């Protein structure tokens, strides 16, 4: 699979002078793939002058919680919370911090959080 912005969803928006949004992203990709430069390509809401339709509006410091599945849970599949053999398996969970965004291209620079060190994997 490759990046699909339909599965990147804002969950918490913390208001304040700088704000911060917690995002959840469901995928079959590994955290190594997600951390590659250019993976999230629709992060910027603007190019600095014009609002862009279909862009996410990620900001520096936002967190992205990634759930890696054996197959993406959909209505066509068994409930992802089911123990049934046909239910998708949750393989891994990881967290990224948005360190920067290239406004002109919308590409996000992500850093994987390992809770002991910040590891930039790109």
Higher pLDDT, 99 or 88: 99
Count of CB atoms situated within 10 Å of the CB of 66: 23
Q: What are phi and psi of 38, to 5 degrees?
A: 90, 0
Angular region, 88: left φ>0, alpha ψ -120 to 50, beta rest: beta
The pLDDT assigned to 66 comes to 95
90-105 pLDDT, tens digit each: 888 999 999 998 877 8
- Domains in the chain: how many in total? 1
Domain holding 10, by residue range, is 5-119
Residue 51 has pLDDT above 60, yes or no: no
Higher pLDDT, 89 or 50: 89
54-69 pLDDT, tens digit each: 678 888 899 999 999 9
Count of CB atoms situated within 10 Å of the CB of 110: 27
């Amino acid at each position: 699979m490759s990046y699909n912005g339909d599965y990147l969803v804002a969950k918490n928006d913390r208001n304040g002078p700088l704000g911060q949004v917690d995002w959840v992203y469901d995928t079959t990709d590994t955290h190594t793939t997600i951390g590659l430069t250019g993976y999230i390509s629709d992060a910027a809401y603007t190019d600095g002058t014009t609002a862009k339709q279909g862009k996410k509006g990620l900001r520096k410091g936002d967190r992205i919680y990634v759930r890696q599945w054996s197959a993406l849970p959909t209505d066509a599949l068994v409930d992802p919370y089911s123990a049934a053999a046909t239910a998708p398996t949750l393989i891994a969970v990881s967290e990224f911090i948005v360190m920067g965004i290239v406004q002109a291209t919308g590409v996000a620079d992500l850093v994987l959080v390992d809770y002991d060190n910040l590891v930039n994997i790109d």
